[in-house]
């Protein structure tokens, strides 16, 4: 079986991907793809990994888990999503390492499903906006306590990506930038579901609707009906044009609240992030979704 697991990162999704995919349960099930609700797997997978504590699972663990997740239904592919899978927000910098728990959690996932083809899906985010929201979610007492010796300018998503590649070379990894999601939303949904561009999907404009005015969204949908784009690139250009005119400012502007975070530091972190993103995009073996 193929197991597609959207593993994060923290503070990039708020379950929007899962909510959109759940709208397609019927049509996806018809082609052998199951999208169970989060209550079917998040707790049981987390607790099973915690109880194993690094030890190999019993031989029947896979079957027990899949029976619980899929209700004994047959499936070729199952889609799971948990942006806290690697860790909760307050443990992102454990031992002074960015996502220090990634290897152990992914290794445990492979132990639980040794017979299956696991695919991982990861959204990354500009540290200038990622850090403030992750810190707020962590309830840490101070930024120093939260970062555990890591300076914001040292954060590299590419380090995490390369560690995953090095330790799990046969595991397909798909990466995209959280900032690009309004333009590539339908492509992300199709990649995680494992379906092609010709299969219709409900919810391909869900994220767009959340950041665009009602008037703009109505105009956009009317335009798409009367002028259907022939390629993904054409569709993204249309989305970009409507966002430029009808995006709701307070839905797309991100306020950075971080002690000592000056405009100069935001610019520096953004430049580092853009270079890091470009580096990840050219890594062999990475499926990078970009506009």
Distance CA(33)–CA(50), nearest Å, equals 28
**276 Cβ neighbours under 8 A, 6+ residues apart:** 156, 157, 158
In the predicted structure, residue 259 carries a pLDDT above the cut 90: no
Q: Region 58-64: what's the mean pLDDT? A: 94
- pLDDT tens digits along 121-151: 999 999 999 999 999 999 899 999 999 999 9
**Whole-number average pLDDT of the chain:** 94
Q: Which is higher by pLDDT, 256 or 190?
A: 190
Residues facing residue 8 across a β-bridge: 122
pLDDT at 250: 77
In the predicted structure, residue 118 carries a pLDDT above the cut 90: yes
DSSP state of 31: T
Counts for the chain of helices (H) and strands (E), in that order: 14, 6
Please count the CA atoms within 13 angstroms of the CA of 212 that sit on its side-chain side: 23
pLDDT at 103: 97
- pLDDT tens digits along 161-195: 999 999 999 999 999 999 999 999 999 999 999 99
In the predicted structure, residue 213 carries a pLDDT above the cut 80: yes
In the predicted structure, residue 249 carries a pLDDT above the cut 90: no
pLDDT at 54: 87
Do β-strands 117-124 and 77-81 pair in parallel, antiparallel, or remain unpaired? unpaired
Third-level CATH fold of 2-203+260-289: Rossmann fold (3.40.50)
> pLDDT-derived band of residue 74, with 50, 70 and 90 as boundaries?
confident
In the predicted structure, residue 117 carries a pLDDT above the cut 80: yes
pLDDT at 71: 83
What would the two tokens of residue 278 be? 């470009």
User: Structure pTM?
Assistant: 0.93
Distance CA(269)–CA(246), nearest Å, equals 28
- CA 16, 14, 103, 154 torsion-angle sign: positive
* Phi, psi torsion values for 2, nearest 5 degrees: -90, 130
| Element (DSSP H or E) covering residue 47 | helix 42-52
Q: Region 265-269: what's the mean pLDDT? A: 95
In the predicted structure, residue 256 carries a pLDDT above the cut 90: no
Distance CA(243)–CA(252), nearest Å, equals 10
């Amino acid at each position: 079986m193929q197991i597609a697991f959207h593993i994060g990162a923290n503070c990039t999704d708020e379950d929007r991907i899962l909510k959109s995919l759940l709208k397609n349960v019927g049509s996806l099930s018809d082609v052998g793809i199951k999208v169970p609700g989060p209550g079917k797997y998040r707790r049981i997978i987390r607790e099973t990994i915690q109880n194993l504590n690094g030890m190999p699972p019993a031989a029947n663990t896979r079957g027990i888990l899949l029976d619980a997740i899929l209700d004994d239904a047959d499936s070729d592919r199952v889609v799971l999503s948990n942006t806290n899978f690697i860790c909760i927000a307050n443990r992102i910098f454990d031992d002074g390492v960015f996502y220090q728990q990634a290897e152990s959690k992914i290794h445990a996932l492979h132990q639980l499903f040794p017979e299956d083809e696991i695919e991982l899906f990861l959204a990354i985010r500009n540290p200038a906006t990622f850090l403030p929201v992750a810190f707020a979610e962590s309830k840490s007492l101070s930024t120093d306590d939260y970062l555990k010796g890591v300076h914001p300018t040292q954060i590299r998503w590419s380090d995490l990506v390369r560690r995953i590649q090095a330790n799990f070379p046969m595991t397909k990894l798909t990466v995209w930038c959280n900032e690009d999601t309004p333009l590539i939303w339908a492509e992300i949904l199709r990649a995680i579901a494992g379906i092609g561009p010709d299969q219709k999907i409900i919810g391909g404009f869900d994220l767009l609707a959340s950041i665009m005015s009602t008037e703009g969204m109505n105009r956009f949908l009317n335009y798409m009906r009367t002028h259907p784009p022939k390629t993904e690139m054409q569709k993204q250009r249309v989305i970009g044009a409507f966002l430029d005119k009808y995006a709701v400012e307070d839905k797309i502007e991100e306020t950075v609240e971080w002690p000592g975070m000056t405009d100069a530091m935001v610019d520096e972190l953004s430049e580092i992030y853009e270079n890091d993103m470009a580096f990840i995009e050219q890594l062999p073996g990475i499926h990078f979704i970009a506009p």
